[in-house]
């Protein structure tokens, strides 16, 4: 079933509505939908490499706006909607751990979840549930989601369609490596200044 959903999403790249589909997919994935927007972002960017950065921008904005919906779900509708979404992904037992991460790292937890393959939607919902500072949440979401999608869009813009195989094969490794470098850089800045 997931493969059929994946194929259906990728087919949007061949339509004139691909950019809108990318925005809606990024929006939905940040709050409830299981398929990450990277698949459509890559398909669109490979089809039109000169527009790869535009597609990354659209994906980033859609994802952040969807994250706001996730935050709102957690803040006002955790009992009726949020718990069902978290249960669907089998992460009910992880919500308490996410609370610990938020209490300890605040924006860092959102930033790491926003960039890596960790289910971002659970963090957006949990951020609302635990009433994380909305401005911090929004800024961390904007930075991390933009970094993720502009990395993909930038690689395709720079190297063309041949980079798709590499991104598909090593995306998780690239995401984790970049996150480690990002955190190390920020820790270094904190201690130097």
Q: pLDDT digits over 64-123, tens only?
A: 999 999 999 999 998 888 888 888 877 788 788 888 888 887 777 888 778 776 778 888
How confident is residue 38, by pLDDT bands cut at 50, 70 and 90? confident
**108 CB neighbour count, 10 Å cutoff:** 17
7-11: long-range contacts, CB 8 A cutoff, minimum separation 24: 9/35, 9/39, 9/40, 10/39, 10/40, 10/43
Q: What is the mean pLDDT of residues 118-138?
A: 88
* Res 193: pLDDT: 39
* Res 119: pLDDT: 78
How confident is residue 53, by pLDDT bands cut at 50, 70 and 90? very high
């Amino acid at each position: 079933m997931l493969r059929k959903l994946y194929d259906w999403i990728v087919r949007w790249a061949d339509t004139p509505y691909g950019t809108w589909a990318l925005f809606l997919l990024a929006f939905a994935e940040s709050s409830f939908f299981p398929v990450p927007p990277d698949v459509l972002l890559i398909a669109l960017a490979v089809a039109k490499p000169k527009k790869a950065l535009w597609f990354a921008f659209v994906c980033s904005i859609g994802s952040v706006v969807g994250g706001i919906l996730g935050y709102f779900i957690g803040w006002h509708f955790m009992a009726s909607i949020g718990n069902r979404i978290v249960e669907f992904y089998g992460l009910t037992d992880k919500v308490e751990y996410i609370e610990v991460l938020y209490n300890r790292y605040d924006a860092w937890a959102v930033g790491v979840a926003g960039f890596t393959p960790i289910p971002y939607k659970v963090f957006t919902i949990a951020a609302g549930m635990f009433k994380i500072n909305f401005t911090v949440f929004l800024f961390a979401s904007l930075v991390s989601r933009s970094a993720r999608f502009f990395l993909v869009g930038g690689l395709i813009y720079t190297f063309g369609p041949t980079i798709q195989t590499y991104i598909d094969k090593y995306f998780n490794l690239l995401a984790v490596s970049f996150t480690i470098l990002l955190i190390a850089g920020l820790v270094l800045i904190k201690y130097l200044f």
